[in-house]
Amino acid sequence: MERSAAGANDPVLQGHKIWVAMSKEHDFAKLESILCDDVILMPPNDTSLFGKAEVLEWFKEYFDNFQIANLTPTERDVFVSGDVAIENWTYMVAIKPVDGSDRIRDDGRFLTIWKKQDDGRWKPTFSNARYLFGRRELADWMTQHDAGRALPIHARALEQSVIPIVEAGKADLVDDGHELGPGLQLAPLPGHTSGQMGLVVNYARNRAIFCGDAIHHPLQIFQPGLSTSTCVDQKLAAETRKKILAEAADSGRLVVPAHFRGQRRAHVRAGSGGYEPVFGNG
């Protein structure tokens, strides 16, 4: 897989620009022009959408209630392999509720899978996706759900975005240590949840760990013993975090948490007083 260059060598740049313009202008014709019939969209904090009709209906309802006052991409990477492109980009958005309530300012990220069509155009697609679920993590959440112990927000997420995938036969259950491919392995990172896993990347020239919710905020690099109130086992979460930071400081591994804003990744430097993040382009 090769990282594409900017400009003329970026095969999905035009589609990206159409998406941004559609969001600002509420232009459904532009949106429809770049959607495959079997597109899948996973909006944040909402149910997954399957097919062009569901996606268009969702955006219509959204724009009936909100206006995008500003949408500014902040970082963007594109990786291309044959007729598939993976686009990862972050953005700053200002949202104006139609009812006149306070404007909302947020930062977020998109991950878009594009596929080259027979006519040469690129469109978002995800039709043949398989979903990897940690076996232990899924079992724990389903036990809570079936016993009525899951919080409403978690129960809705399971019912809208997890259980349908399992029932459709598109889920592959994996265990700690599962290898996705050469140099890509899932590692247990318990504490925030019982079965949380991270992706450990060991390439010849690059080493990283995508650590999910094991580190929520840069402050936890300075104070790794500080766990969030939502961690199911705060002590274990702190122990996991300390192991991540110690190994990253020793090996030079890049740490990529799920919730950092701005600089989304950091190397870790050990000092006499503990650890500190080293932000940059690594």
Asked whether the domain spanning 176-282 has the same topology as the one spanning 2-124, the reply is: no
Which one has a higher pLDDT value, 3 or 251? 251
Q: Which residue has the tokens 């969209």?
A: 41
Position 46 confidence tier, pLDDT thresholds 50, 70, 90: confident
Where are the domains positioned within the chain? 2-124, 176-282
Position 5 confidence tier, pLDDT thresholds 50, 70, 90: very low
Position 126 confidence tier, pLDDT thresholds 50, 70, 90: low
> What topology is assigned to 2-124 in CATH?
Nuclear Transport Factor 2; Chain: A, (3.10.450)
User: What's the confidence (pLDDT) of residue 282?
Assistant: 55
User: What's the confidence (pLDDT) of residue 26?
Assistant: 86
Q: Is the pLDDT of residue 3 over 70?
A: no
Query: For strand 179-181 and strand 171-174, is the pairing parallel, antiparallel, or unpaired?
Result: unpaired
Give the end-to-end CA distance of the chain in Å, rounded to a whole number: 19
Q: Which residue has the tokens 């569901």?
A: 54
Extended beta strands in the chain, E state:
2-3, 40-41, 49-50, 66-81, 84-97, 104-116, 122-124, 131-134, 171-174, 179-181, 184-188, 197-202, 207-212, 254-257, 267-271, 274-278
User: What's the confidence (pLDDT) of residue 97?
Assistant: 92
Q: Is the pLDDT of residue 197 over 90?
A: yes
Kindly report the pTM of this predicted structure. Answer: 0.65
Coil vs helix vs strand at 117:
coil
Position 1 confidence tier, pLDDT thresholds 50, 70, 90: very low
Question: Per the CATH hierarchy, to which homologous superfamily does domain 176-282 belong?
Answer: Ribonuclease Z/Hydroxyacylglutathione hydrolase-like (3.60.15.10)
CB 52 within 8 A of CB 39: yes
User: What's the confidence (pLDDT) of residue 240?
Assistant: 98
CB 110 within 8 A of CB 88: yes
Mean pLDDT on 94-109: 88
Q: Is the pLDDT of residue 21 over 50?
A: yes
Averaged pLDDT of the chain: 87
